[in-house]
Structure 1
């Protein structure tokens, strides 16, 4: 027997009389449809994207809790029953601008009815966002076929790793080194090897560059760089390993040719020791699909944009406070030397 639930009043079930009558309803009474969700999150406060049995603070855990609270999925439904897939996993502290998941959810239509056009469907992002914490947002949704896989249907993924340029990094050398990443290579020296899952370490990089995001900043001020990597797939910690080696190049501790040498696993069969770059600056920037267009309602888009701007303004205020402290200490140091 299907579980009976009493839905809240904001779930897209039309009719005030039906909402206020107090009648329970059965999830089986509603049409189910397969959709993809585009998800943005700041991962600093979470133990990665993927759910973990012994850890509650994951992005996926928060997302599924919100889907259950808004009665879009049934309590206790497993991934297989939901047809669930994700584009990829991100580690603890890593953020995403365009993570994509796909699953089967409740429609506004009744069971047996024709599947409604997307414009007549529930506003899935608006519903789920009401139940999510502020650092996780569903940006849009798209109808997809039942055989769609958020992981295997993707054409390519793009990561960006943000780096503060305080004048000590040789950006030209970093770009020269990054050029060697293009094409298909064995990246076993640029990943964390999982011995429990033997696999090929060959991956294809489509784009590799070091972008200057604030080239016109004032003299002496720090600017922001971004390691930009686009590929068909990535290994565990691959981007952070690449970032770590490129930072060594930028600081003059390694020559630009080190990337090409590390890719030659025949001449260098063992991975050299180096420290992994921190996780906080890493962003899953884009997941690309063929003919997948995410829809956003104007109202929910405006609310999300306002929320992100508020968070940005707070970060800028914090940066300004820290910059003032640095400038004061620099001034004090200069005065002490006189």
Structure 2
């Protein structure tokens, strides 16, 4: 009865759990199960208070921060309410530090991977899978480009024009079917995107987003967006390409350029290039057309450049073609070798040649019909400055190499008729060795002194002189020993 009276007391019911735990008199009246329940309630209360504190102060665990950060990247952009535009981008890159153009699962150091990250970071696309992305071609590891072209759907600030795609409502209908309130919401959404991060001036309604400035601001200096162009919906950066032009730079030292120029004309026209490529099992036909093959001297340089233009190329085709030309230029192969390799009806054995290096190869241009790329003058100077920084780095490396090469070339080699033998087992290189002939009072001291002197002579003499000195030392030692023995017997 007493227990029930305490629990039902109004004074006790109004006390907090913490106060109850501090009340010894009250705790003494509770059973074991009641004590456990009271402690559990207090622990749950403290845990809830901790969660509230962390939440109010913005403190979250690492996983929560990452999720929140990813959500905030595009938190202000609803791509379903944004206008899109089909755009082609022309870009250049120095391919030497990268593992090729195309994205790979084994490496993130590809040009395409950096491009996709740039489009996502600038919120120009929601994801690459829905962007209708295509590339004119893929270049291998170490290959550079000046005229690579890609096409995709990107966010636009305009509501009409070439390649403009209006947003759709939730039912999939066009924007013209939206209600007035939805149109107002869409207008507000576009207005919020007029001033991007880093832009001092807001973008007017009749101005397109500064695509080049936005992308180059987040790309590495080796990759630059050069120009952009609005394209029709049927355009495809890969399948709309009419031609591709490559340039291959080389040093003419040791090469017969006239032979190479004559041999290069044999590549012109349509041929089966199965002997001039690395076999790809996915390729059904190895027939390719070469429209142009010229070899010319580079202006203000000691180098030469081969310009090759065609509709499309096989895997490593240009590097294999150049390798055979180098064999002909070195007079290690006859010009007829090209004709024989192009004639697949003949059972000729492919010569074991080393494929030409990828470093001098550049994708120079991709040809299209009726596309006028826009080069923004406001950012072109910054692009040139950025590219000069890359050029300057490689120029310094070139001058360092030139210094070593020229210095070594101007250094006269030293010729010697006799190669000196190395000196070994030197016990004291400073003290000059002398042979002592002074007799000591005892046989032990005399033997120790002469032995040390003999070792010193042995350590500094070489070749025949060493043998001669050792013989003389042994003779003197024997004479000194005999003299000492004679004196001892006399005494």
Classify the TM-score, shorter chain: 0.7 to 0.9
Residue in structure 2 matched with residue 157 of structure 1 by the alignment: 244
Contact 2:158 2:206 in 1 (8 A): no
Residue in structure 2 matched with residue 278 of structure 1 by the alignment: 357
The C-alpha deviation readout for 1:276-298, integer Å capped at 9, x for no partner, is 11211111011111111111211
Residue in structure 2 matched with residue 124 of structure 1 by the alignment: 211
Question: Residues 121 and 253 (structure 1 numbering): CA distance in 2 closer, same or farther, change over 3 Å?
Answer: same
Return the structure number with greater relative CO, CA threshold 8 A, min gap 6.
Answer: 1
Which of 117, 141, 158 aligns to 1:65? It is: 117
Contact 1:177 1:259 in 2 (8 A): yes
Distance 2:125 2:283 in 1: 35
Could you tell me how far 1:119 is from its partner in structure 2?
7.5
Distance 1:254 1:118 in 2: 65
The C-alpha deviation readout for 1:239-288, integer Å capped at 9, x for no partner, is 01011111111111112222122111111455333211121111101111
Question: Which residues in structure 2 correspond to 1:297-336 (within 5 Å)?
Answer: 297-332=376-411, 334=412, 336=414
Residue in structure 2 matched with residue 201 of structure 1 by the alignment: 286
Residue in structure 1 matched with residue 311 of structure 2 by the alignment: 232
Q: Secondary structure at the match of 1:121?
A: coil
Residue 104 of structure 2 corresponds to residue 55 of structure 1: no
Unaligned runs of at least 5 residues, structure 1: 9-22, 218-222
Question: Residues 257 and 270 (structure 1 numbering): CA distance in 2 closer, same or farther, change over 3 Å?
Answer: closer
Q: Secondary structure at the match of 2:312?
A: coil
Distance 1:268 1:240 in 2: 23
Could you tell me how far 1:163 is from its partner in structure 2?
0.8
Distance 1:169 1:119 in 2: 57
Q: Secondary structure at the match of 1:249?
A: helix
Which of 269, 272, 277 aligns to 1:186? It is: 272
Residue in structure 2 matched with residue 256 of structure 1 by the alignment: 335
Residue in structure 1 matched with residue 94 of structure 2 by the alignment: 42
Contact 2:221 2:390 in 1 (8 A): no
Q: Secondary structure at the match of 1:308?
A: helix
Could you tell me how far 1:198 is from its partner in structure 2?
4.1
Which of 94, 105, 130 aligns to 2:143? It is: 94
Q: Secondary structure at the match of 1:25?
A: coil
Residue in structure 2 matched with residue 20 of structure 1 by the alignment: none
Distance 1:91 1:198 in 2: 17
TM-score normalised according to structure 2 size:
0.59
The structure with the largest alpha-carbon Rg is 2
Contact 1:189 1:272 in 2 (8 A): no
Q: Secondary structure at the match of 1:44?
A: coil
Residue in structure 2 matched with residue 242 of structure 1 by the alignment: 321
Q: Report which of the two has the higher share of strand.
A: 1
Distance 2:117 2:334 in 1: 48
Distance 1:41 1:160 in 2: 14
Moved over 3 A (4+): 4-8, 109-114, 116-119, 268-272, 334-338
Aligned-pair Cα RMSD in Å:
2.5
Could you tell me how far 1:32 is from its partner in structure 2?
0.8
Q: Secondary structure at the match of 1:229?
A: strand
Q: Secondary structure at the match of 1:275?
A: coil
Matched residue count: 309
Contact 1:5 1:24 in 2 (8 A): no
Contact 2:293 2:307 in 1 (8 A): yes
Residue in structure 2 matched with residue 146 of structure 1 by the alignment: 233
Contact 1:208 1:230 in 2 (8 A): yes
Contact 1:189 1:270 in 2 (8 A): no
Residue in structure 2 matched with residue 104 of structure 1 by the alignment: 153
Q: Secondary structure at the match of 2:353?
A: coil
Could you tell me how far 1:207 is from its partner in structure 2?
0.4
